[in-house]
Amino acid sequence: MSTPDFTHNQARSARGVAFKALFALCAFLSILTTVAILATLLYDAVDFFAAVSPVEFFTGTEWVPSNEVYGVWPLISGTLIITIGSAAIALPIGLLTAIYLSEYASERRRAYLKPALEVLAGVPTVVYGYFALVYVTPALDRIVPIGTFNAFSASIMVGIMIIPMVSSISEDAMSAVPDSLRQASYGLGATKFTVSTSVVVPAALSGILSSYILALSRAIGETMIVAIAAGQTPRMADLTDPGGMFLESVQTMTAAMVQIGASDVVGQSTEYKSLFAVGLTLFVITFAMNLFSEWVSSRYREVYR
Amino acid sequence: MSTETDTSDMTEGSEPAFGRVSRSKDVAFRWLTLAAALLGIVALAALLANVAVDAVGWLTWDFLTGMPSFSNPYDAGFYPAIVGSIALMLLIALITFPLGVGAAIYLEEYASDGYLTRFIQLNIANLAGVPSVVYGLLGLGLFVGLLNLGFGTLLVAGFTVSLLILPIVIISAQEAIRSVPDSQRQASYGMGATKWQTIRNVILPRAMPGILTGTILALGRAIGETAPLIMIGAPTAVFGVPNSLFSKVSAMPMQIFTWADRPEMEFQYGVVAAGVVTLLVILLSINSIAILIRNRYQRRT
């Protein structure tokens, strides 16, 4: 809120009110969008749950839409595998990158590195999916026997895509750590390593945590990479073989949606409506994570501002 | 590095509270963080080099101006997808620019700092994190199902992707408007200008380079979106250019997705590589325009 408008000319303020109303309408459109998302998802999801019991949907361990078997767990399991795989890549690398940018890099180097990192997030995901399928999978196949479609190369690509999300938000948090904390630590004879890992990272922890949650949420919602490279095989994770489950094809929630969306299922079928039930599940999960991340980062803001 | 302590002259008793100071650990950590910062960039560069090499021989004039094919890779063309993407982008720009700037003006210049404003702000931040495939479902349910604008038409695709990038446009326009110094607003009011006159004559001209940069970057994002197009039933290939808002439209990423599905090596390592290079070149040109605008503006201030 800036300076108030002190003018009292009637004709002028009538026009002013009209413009204000117009701009307000634009802003309220965002709320309308959220309502519309919820309404469209719920509208068909309610129909779906009239045909398929929610108990079957949320507890079922088999997803075979062609046979009218709708248990969402294989899709959630596939999504979790990709999320864990990409997190294993993006969270440590993103954090280390943020430490480099915030604590080690010169002003000049940072000016080149930050935009270069942002390119990673700007590459269309269909391109990453293609890279995973055509270059990464054959390269991995030379080391371990791996399927044409597998969770491993998809995870690598999703991980690379979300690195900038972790690094840029974490770096903001680390830059906000007051310099006096660093100076105090140096005064005690600490090295830069100790200052970074024992002072800066703990002090910026809530910002880092918030970037992690946001990145995981992005990984859960990522669609094209997994639809192209991870394949379309809905299956439950075999927990007795943690390494093996990355080597085979999985289907995530988003990939299942693409599969149904790209096929010619018609408007009133249960399969079409299952799209909205899966979409609603995905929306609720990511929305909750985004809110949680917002909450964590707002808590951190209170500390240093 | 001047603050580092030399370990050589330290006796056991004067050890600092942080434990033994290790210079080698410090140097190793510095290299580790640098390696992490470069890892993603190097990986992407290697993949880009691969795809560029594979595209050689396939990225021809016939490819750029020909119609798509799924049977003969040597006949496959990208023309309808390129024109479709550009038409889609223009439509999205026409929708998101006024809406995004309007919303940003309201939030920055008019709205009071109350619960409602904070709620709208939080809502916009959340919308920016909604998966794009969910926006596709919104388009399918609302524009195709309820408003009956037709599967995969230019209009439906435009509306759907517009809603998807609108939060990004609003957030970047807000940042641009916020960076206009308050003294300029005060000066305008001091001259007797109304709020609208101040916005039109002072704030918008000052914020415009920032707003344009943000909008163009968001359009770059829009051009790569695939999942929402699949959801709203965009055709896997069209054999003509769109000539009305109700024409069926395909787009570059959509065409790449359907070609990548073909098992033939000529498609996977040739045609798709050429498509990917074309998409990235167009994307890069768009982003360069944004960066040019930003740099010109930064030099002036």
A15 within some domain: yes
DSSP A248: S
Of residues B75 and A199, the one with the higher pLDDT is: A199
Q: What is the per-residue pLDDT across A204-241, written as a single tens digit (0 to 9) for each? A: 988 899 999 999 999 999 999 999 998 888 888 777 77
Residue with tokens 């990984």: A219
Both A45 and A62 in a single domain?
no
Tokens at residue A129, please? 């999916």
A305 within some domain: no
The continuous run of DSSP H or E covering B120 comes out as: helix B115-127
Chain B residue closest in CA terms to A216:
B129
Confidence of residue A297 (pLDDT cuts 50, 70, 90): confident
Strand partners, A63: A70
Q: Are A283 and B134 a contacting pair, CB within 8 Å?
A: yes
Q: What is the CA radius of gyration of chain A?
A: 24
- Whole-number Cα distances in Å, A57 to A49, A78, A237, B46: 8, 16, 18, 43
Determine the pLDDT at residue A5.
Answer: 56
pLDDT tens track, chain B, 301 positions: 444 444 444 444 444 444 555 678 888 888 999 999 999 999 999 999 999 998 888 888 878 877 777 777 777 788 888 888 999 999 999 999 999 999 999 999 888 888 888 899 999 999 998 999 999 999 998 988 888 887 888 899 999 999 999 999 999 999 999 989 989 999 998 998 888 889 989 999 989 888 998 899 899 989 998 999 988 887 777 777 777 777 778 888 988 888 888 777 777 788 889 999 999 999 999 888 888 887 777 655 4
Chain B residues with beta carbon closer than 8 angstroms to that of A261: 136, 140, 230-231, 233
B237 φ, ψ (degrees, to nearest 5):
-155, 140
Chain A residues with beta carbon closer than 8 angstroms to that of B23: 191
The amino acid occupying position B6 is D
- A55 and chain B in contact, CB less than 8 A: no
CB contact under 8 A, B120 and A30: yes
Both A262 and A231 in a single domain?
yes
Helices B272-300/B252-260 angle, 10° precision: 150
Both A78 and A44 in a single domain?
no
What whole-number distance in Å separates Cα of residue A56 and Cα of residue B12?
66
Closest CA to B207 of B279, B126, B101: B101
Mention every residue, 6+ apart, whose C-beta is less than 8 A from residue A284. none
- In this prediction, does ipTM exceed 0.85? yes
Both A8 and A111 in a single domain?
no
Determine the pLDDT at residue B93.
Answer: 93
Which of A110-124, A291-305, B12-26 has the highest mean predicted lDDT (pLDDT)? Answer: A110-124
Nearest to B141 among A44, A97, A193 (CB): A44
What whole-number distance in Å separates Cα of residue B95 and Cα of residue A152?
39
B294 φ, ψ (degrees, to nearest 5):
-65, -45
Chain A residues with beta carbon closer than 8 angstroms to that of B100: 26
Report DSSP letters for A155-220, one per residue. Answer: HHHHHHHHHHHHHHHHHHHHHTS-HHHHHHHHHTT--HHHIIIIIIHHHTHHHHHHHHHHHHHHHH
Question: Which three-class secondary structure state does DSSP give residue A123?
Answer: coil
Determine the pLDDT at residue A125.
Answer: 93
Chain B residues with beta carbon closer than 8 angstroms to that of A27: 102-103, 106-107, 111, 120, 170
Count of CB pairs separated by less than 8 Å, A with B: 306
| Number of domains observed in the structure of chain A | 2
| A25-29, A165-169, A203-207, A260-264: the lowest-pLDDT one | A260-264
Interior CA angle at A33 toward B221 and A129, to 5°? 30
Determine the pLDDT at residue A7.
Answer: 52
- B164 and chain A in contact, CB less than 8 A: no
Both A11 and A114 in a single domain?
no
Taking the model in full, what pTM does it have?
0.87
Q: Alpha helix locations (H) across chain A?
A: 10-51, 54-59, 73-99, 107-122, 125-131, 137-141, 151-175, 179-187, 192-194, 201-203, 205-221, 224-229, 253-262, 270-304
| Å between B207 CA and nearest CA of chain A | 15
Both A282 and A182 in a single domain?
yes
Determine the pLDDT at residue B102.
Answer: 94
Q: Is B244 exposed, middle or buried (0-12, 13-18, 19+ CB in 10 A)?
A: exposed
Closest CA to B257 of B225, B282, B220, B280: B225
A304 within some domain: no
Of residues A139 and A14, the one with the higher pLDDT is: A139
Chain A residues with beta carbon closer than 8 angstroms to that of B169: none
Asked if pLDDT for residue A264 goes beyond 80, the answer is: no
The amino acid occupying position B126 is N
Both A116 and A192 in a single domain?
yes
Q: What is the per-residue pLDDT across A58-103, written as a single tens digit (0 to 9) for each? A: 988 888 888 888 999 999 999 999 999 999 999 999 999 999 999 9
Q: Is B24 exposed, middle or buried (0-12, 13-18, 19+ CB in 10 A)?
A: exposed
Q: What is the per-residue pLDDT across A29-52, written as a single tens digit (0 to 9) for each? A: 999 999 999 999 999 899 899 888
Range of the domain at A26: 3-51
Both A290 and A157 in a single domain?
yes
In chain B, residues 218-257 whose CB comes closer than 8 Å to chain A = 220-221, 223-227, 230-231, 233, 236, 253, 256-257
Determine the pLDDT at residue B62.
Answer: 79
Determine the pLDDT at residue A283.
Answer: 94
Both A41 and A148 in a single domain?
no
Determine the pLDDT at residue A189.
Answer: 84
Q: Are B100 and B215 a contacting pair, CB within 8 Å?
A: yes
* Torsion sign across C-alpha atoms A190, A195, A196, A201: positive
Question: Which three-class secondary structure state does DSSP give residue A144?
Answer: coil
What whole-number distance in Å separates Cα of residue B227 and Cα of residue B127?
16
Asked if pLDDT for residue A10 goes beyond 70, the answer is: no
Chain A residue closest in CA terms to B140:
A40
Determine the pLDDT at residue B15.
Answer: 44
Q: Are B263 and B44 a contacting pair, CB within 8 Å?
A: no
Determine the pLDDT at residue A90.
Answer: 95
Q: Give the residue from B15, B188, B195 with the most A CB atoms within 10 Å of its CB, the best one to mutate.
A: B195
A288 within some domain: yes
- A106 and chain B in contact, CB less than 8 A: no
| Å between B82 CA and nearest CA of chain A | 15
Report the first-to-last Cα separation within chain B, whole angstroms.
34
Determine the pLDDT at residue A243.
Answer: 73
Q: How many CB atoms lie within 10 A of CB A239?
A: 8
Q: What is the mean pLDDT of residues A185-193?
A: 88
Both A84 and A168 in a single domain?
yes
Chain B residues with beta carbon closer than 8 angstroms to that of A116: 41
Q: Are B227 and A223 a contacting pair, CB within 8 Å?
A: yes
Q: Is A17 left (phi over 0), alpha (psi -120 to 50) or beta?
A: alpha
Q: Are A50 and A206 a contacting pair, CB within 8 Å?
A: no
Of residues A54 and B296, the one with the higher pLDDT is: A54
Q: Are B51 and A129 a contacting pair, CB within 8 Å?
A: no
Asked if pLDDT for residue A290 goes beyond 50, the answer is: yes
Q: Are A233 and A149 a contacting pair, CB within 8 Å?
A: yes
A250 within some domain: yes
Chain B residues with beta carbon closer than 8 angstroms to that of A190: 16, 18, 21
Both A192 and A230 in a single domain?
yes
CATH of the domain at A99: 1.10.3720.10
Both A202 and A287 in a single domain?
yes
